[in-house]
Structure 1
Amino acid sequence: MTTSLGAKIKRHRQEKGYSLDKLAELTDSSKSYIWELENRDTRKPSGEKLTRIAQALEVTTDYLLDESEEPSDQVLKEAFFRKFSKLAPEDQQKINQMIDMWGKKD
């Protein structure tokens, strides 16, 4: 099943609990522009705007542009690493320790 760019933006915006106003603010856009992206398939954002939207929603631009329903493994990994890189160094270290512990299970 295919999913449009607008449907993905709307779904992820709602999952994050963002209003149209909040996503517009985070992406330096207007509320009406975000609404048009979500509801009119004829509206296509610029590369810069698409990047801002992807960053605000913590997904990749590739995922937003791909018409598949679910993100690929690569997209999920990129989203994880983006979130991981925003953590404080001590939190990153704790996560690395947990991964090491899980990896030792046999």
Structure 2
Amino acid sequence: MPPKAKFGSRIKELRTEKKMTLDQLAAATESSKSYIWELENKNPPRPSAEKLSAIAKALGVTVDYLFGADEQTKAEAEDVAFFREYSEMPEQTRIQLRAIAKTLTAKKE
């Protein structure tokens, strides 16, 4: 599947997995419903870098994953997106999350 076709199908797939409507994704990315529909269904898509970033953030993945530009799995894209969000959190929140992660890891061992 060429990257451009992958782009639209990945947006739609992620949006529906998250049970988001076109309206909800549009609102989360400050776009119109018709713009999101066009990205999902038209070829070739021509979103701005700002819109790409907003869509990837709203869907919890990376721009690279949306385009299929590399062999990044969905789980890897979600991890990268989570770390980006984590990096922007207040220090106290990051400390709490690290403590939670240690607790979860200790229970598995």
TM-score in terms of structure 1 length: 0.74
Q: Structure 1's 29 and 84: CA in aligned 2 closer, same or farther, altered over 3 A? A: same
Which runs of structure 2 are paired with 1:1-106 in the superposition (5 Å)? 4-67=6-69, 68=71, 70-71=73-74, 73=76, 75-84=77-86, 92-101=94-103, 102=105
Q: Secondary structure at the match of 2:58?
A: helix
Instruction: Say how many residue pairs are matched.
Output: 105
Please state which structure has a larger fraction of its residues in helix: 2
Q: Distance in 2 between matches of 1:4 and 1:69?
A: 13
Mark the runs of 5 or more structure 2 residues left unpaired by the alignment: none
Q: Structure 1's 22 and 104: CA in aligned 2 closer, same or farther, altered over 3 A? A: closer
Mark the runs of 5 or more structure 1 residues left unpaired by the alignment: none
Q: Deviations over 1:27-56 (max 9, x none)?
A: 111111111110112222111111111111
TM-score in terms of structure 2 length: 0.72
Q: Distance in 2 between matches of 1:96 and 1:36?
A: 40
Q: Secondary structure at the match of 1:29?
A: coil
Please tell me the root mean square deviation across aligned C-alpha atoms, in Å: 3.0
- Aligned residues with identical type, % of pairs: 42
